[in-house]
Structure 1
Amino acid sequence: MTNFQPTSSLPVHRLGKTDLEVVNLCVGCAPLGDMPDTFAYSVPEEQALETIRTIFRSPITFVDTAASYGDGESERRIGVVLKELGGVPAGYTLATKADRDLKTNEFSGDQMRRSVERSLKLLGLSKLPLLYLHDPEHITFEQAMAPGGPVEVLQQCKQEGLVEHLGVAGGPIDLMTRFVETDIFEAAISHNRYTLLNTEADPFWDVCQRHGVGAVNAAPYGSGILAKGPRAYPRYQYSEAPKAYLDKALKLEEAAQKYNIPLAAVALQFSLRDPRIHSTIVGMTRPERLDETVKLAQISIPTELWTEIDTIRRG
């Protein structure tokens, strides 16, 4: 079994204005919640538990989950391991997200409090080190910011000591920008919008930087196509990939193969090399993925390949 030490050579960044020091890689625990409808594969419990045990021995000391991942299943599985370990090991940062009710779609202030309380219970924690408002695109900005609404209640949870740091995680860049510009949030996650195939989030990182908000880029592989390859996994952002993305991914893969570099390494380092991004979230489903991901992050990629990649990417 892979057995890392928690100290590592991975770069460490302060997450925005927070006091959190995080490594440049973050383990995404969405697939560990067993979400076959989203990812097109299932993750059995024992495989998930063994992966989580390995996470908390690895040099990737930043871990990300959400209340909605398997509707609590990801948090529950993490909680099982945390109970074995007697809590979050020293040096690790665990983040989760407050979500709407997946059965009723309720996205109210009351639901945010229920979500926070359930996360604390499932994880077995008395305080959440970092909590994001998750997928606010399911309501309007005005509804989210209304008196007694989701944002105000999450701020109350922070004041009560249930949450240490508050972030926002979502999809549409215009909406995410509005939340960051409130200066309420200390960290922000954008997903699937800063990859070799889609750089829609590029201006968003500038906004985060101007507001001192920790910038976290999720899904650098576009949910798998840039890791497994377009032939093996022709999906982007959890659904069938558009033809334009498939064609571009094939060209990117061919360019990487010429230099004997895995496409996954190029896709991952495209995010890691951006100085505006503090950490990059990569979903993990097996213990060996920890070791593989660290190696992908550390592969030396020649300048000539980056030049070719940039030409294809912008073409």
Structure 2
Amino acid sequence: MKTRIINSSGSKITELGFGSAGAGNLFRPVSYEDITKAINKAHSLGIQYFDTAPHYGAGLAERRLGVALDEMLRADIFLSTKVGRVLHADKNSVKKDADCYVEASPFDREYDYTYDGIMRSFEDSLQRLGVSQVDMLLMHDIGELTHKEKHQHYLQQAIDGGFKAMAELREQGVARNIGLGVNEWQVCDQAMDYAQFDCFMVANCFTLLNNDITDYFTEKCTKNQVSLIAAAPFNSGILAKGSKGLGHYFYGEAPQDVIDKVIAIERVCEQFNVSLQAAAIQYALRYDCVKSILIGMTNKSRVAQNIAWYEEHIPEAFWLSLDGVISSR
């Protein structure tokens, strides 16, 4: 699989990454056996980038991923996790259903973007993963979309201490790259005024359906040597299932205007004999500042299918025809 280089650090990352939210039982329980087989399949087919977070199943995904990756050479793996939530044990529970995760680990999540909160979250993640360092550390879900009226409060926590903690971890060499992992690129734009980041992971907002990030922010990232990872290229499902499948959009039902846009994209795909899913995966890779596309995977067949879409040939004429349909301007 092709690799790209994170500009500021020189780290090498595969163009396709394995997202582990499903390993934390997002929406439905997934067996450890299925997740392990999916991880092994991904690695055998060339994927070296694996991402996780304490939020995914309240630590469950980190534990599962750590065990599965333990059999692989560390030098062959690019591993990222996140900070911003601290987990607290719930002595009254064995398994919990919360925040879209079912049968998750018995922990409650607490948002904490302070210096001490970041340090504790990172140390806990290292223990769950069974590693002494990570290739990338991302501050998770800071922003108005998650925190609404409390956004400024949590952003100030990060400015006052959280960003400093992450910078120190980078200086110590235990987190080679630092950045944000969010659902809105605008907070990345804000954060650049307060710290020097290596990479931003943007989910659901660098896609065929949502791409105003290209209005100026991609150019700003290129100018400042900040790399991007485009996560959730299917916008939670609708670009994987198509207009007739009615998959999720931003984790909810797709509104009619979104469905109409998908139909318009499908017409161009049919014209050039290009699959919708391949276009969704390859779209952001047309930008040099984008280093990897991160997709959630839970079984071997899905891994193989995603790689096939990633490798599908798409002619340049297709993109020229599609640009007018998907342009955010």
- 1:45-194 matches, cutoff 5 A: 45-83=32-70, 85=71, 88-101=73-86, 103-137=109-143, 138=147, 139-140=151-152, 141-146=155-160, 149-194=161-206
Instruction: Indicate the residue corresponding to 1:4 in structure 2.
Output: none
How far is 1:176 from its partner?
A: 0.9
Contiguous gaps of at least 5 residues in structure 1: 1-9
Contiguous gaps of at least 5 residues in structure 2: 87-107
**Post-superposition CA distance 1:227-286 (Å, at most 9, x none):** 121322332121122211111112222332344322101111111222231111111121
Q: TM-score by structure 1 length?
A: 0.87
**Post-superposition CA distance 1:182-222 (Å, at most 9, x none):** 45211111111111111122122222111111211111111
Aligned: 1:28 with 2:19: yes
SS of match in other structure, 2:75: coil
Number of residue equivalences: 298
Q: Aligned partners of 1:103, 1:300: CA distance in 2, in Å?
A: 43
**Post-superposition CA distance 1:134-187 (Å, at most 9, x none):** 1122443332111xx211222233344432221222133322112234452111
Q: Aligned partners of 1:194, 1:78: CA distance in 2, in Å?
A: 26
Q: TM-score by structure 2 length?
A: 0.83
Q: Does the 8 Å contact 1:180/1:188 carry over to 2?
A: no
Amino acid at match of 2:250: Q
* Pairing partner for 1:283 from 273, 296, 311: 296
Q: Aligned partners of 2:272, 2:49: CA distance in 1, in Å?
A: 31
Q: Aligned partners of 1:89, 1:266: CA distance in 2, in Å?
A: 32
Q: Aligned partners of 2:129, 2:220: CA distance in 1, in Å?
A: 32
What is the percent sequence identity of the aligned residues? 29
Instruction: Indicate the residue corresponding to 1:269 in structure 2.
Output: 282
Q: Aligned partners of 2:193, 2:292: CA distance in 1, in Å?
A: 20
Amino acid at match of 2:245: A
Instruction: Indicate the residue corresponding to 2:5 in structure 1.
Output: 14
SS of match in other structure, 1:22: strand
SS of match in other structure, 1:167: strand
Q: Aligned partners of 2:307, 2:115: CA distance in 1, in Å?
A: 39
Q: Aligned partners of 1:56, 1:100: CA distance in 2, in Å?
A: 28
Q: Does the 8 Å contact 1:82/1:124 carry over to 2?
A: no
SS of match in other structure, 1:59: coil
Which moved further from structure 2: 192-201 or 180-189?
180-189
